[in-house]
């Protein structure tokens, strides 16, 4: 095992992952109730809820494994969208006759706690461990999509490298 692998944090031990897992289990319990209804829109909403809830954990693991700033920020933006979508699913549930929609307030409370953990987690990203995002969305502050890549100044002769 390399020194880098020894330094890696198990994403499953992070508070944000643990809270995401709690949310996933809660959403799964509510979705089970939704699936009892004979309503395709409610069932589709239940599937979307499950998908969004699973992203709260999956993308944390991906971000921790990818480690580069732009990859972590991309995962963070997907998490943010999934969490926000989880919040608004209650409106669809209510609109299409899900009688137990009041249980969804528990999800909203848990997502708010997740949001606070999310802020801390994103603040921990190493802004100096990056490659330039040429799309311009996920660069660290002060880095633009048209900036010169500092790695271009490193002399590299493939013939020398390959022998």
CATH number at residue 43: 1.20.1440
H helical segments located in 67-150 = 69-95, 104-123
Residue 98's SS3 state is coil
Domain residues for 52?
10-125
C-alpha span between 122 and 41 (Å, rounded): 34
Helix 15-34 and helix 40-66, axial crossing angle in degrees, nearest 10 = 170
Residue 65's SS3 state is helix
Provide the pLDDT for residue 154: 73
C-alpha span between 108 and 101 (Å, rounded): 12
161 within some domain? no
C-alpha span between 99 and 132 (Å, rounded): 49
Q: Give Rg (Cα) of the chain.
A: 20
62 within some domain? yes
Provide the pLDDT for residue 2: 44
What is the number of structural domains in the chain?
A: 1
Ramachandran quadrant class, 157 (left: phi over 0; alpha: psi -120 to 50; beta: rest):
beta
Of the candidates 42, 20, 37, the residue with the CA atom closest to the CA atom of residue 107: 20
Provide the pLDDT for residue 145: 93
111 within some domain? yes
97 within some domain? yes
50 within some domain? yes
15 within some domain? yes
- Please state the pTM of the whole predicted model: 0.86
Provide the pLDDT for residue 36: 94
144 within some domain? no
58 within some domain? yes
Provide the pLDDT for residue 1: 43
C-alpha span between 55 and 143 (Å, rounded): 28
Provide the pLDDT for residue 6: 53
> Mind listing the pLDDT tens digit of every residue in the chain (163 residues)?
444 555 678 999 999 999 999 999 999 999 999 999 999 999 999 999 999 999 999 999 999 998 899 999 999 999 999 999 999 998 999 999 999 989 889 999 999 999 999 999 999 999 999 999 999 999 999 999 999 887 777 777 777 777 6
């Amino acid at each position: 095992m390399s020194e880098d692998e020894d330094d890696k944090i198990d994403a499953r031990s992070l508070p944000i992952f643990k809270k995401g897992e709690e949310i996933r289990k809660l959403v799964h319990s509510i979705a089970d109730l939704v699936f009892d209804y004979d309503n395709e829109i409610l069932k589709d909403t239940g599937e979307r809820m499950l998908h969004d809830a699973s992203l709260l954990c999956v993308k944390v693991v991906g971000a921790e494994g990818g480690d580069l700033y732009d990859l972590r920020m991309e995962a963070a933006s997907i998490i943010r969208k999934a969490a926000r979508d989880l919040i608004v699913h209650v409106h669809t549930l209510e609109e299409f006759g899900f009688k137990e929609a009041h249980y969804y307030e528990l999800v909203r409370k848990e997502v708010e706690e997740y949001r606070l953990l999310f802020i801390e987690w994103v603040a921990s990203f190493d802004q100096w461990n990056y490659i330039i995002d040429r799309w311009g969305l996920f660069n660290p502050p002060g880095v633009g999509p048209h900036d010169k890549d500092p790695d271009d100044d490193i002399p590299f002769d493939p013939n020398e490298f390959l022998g």
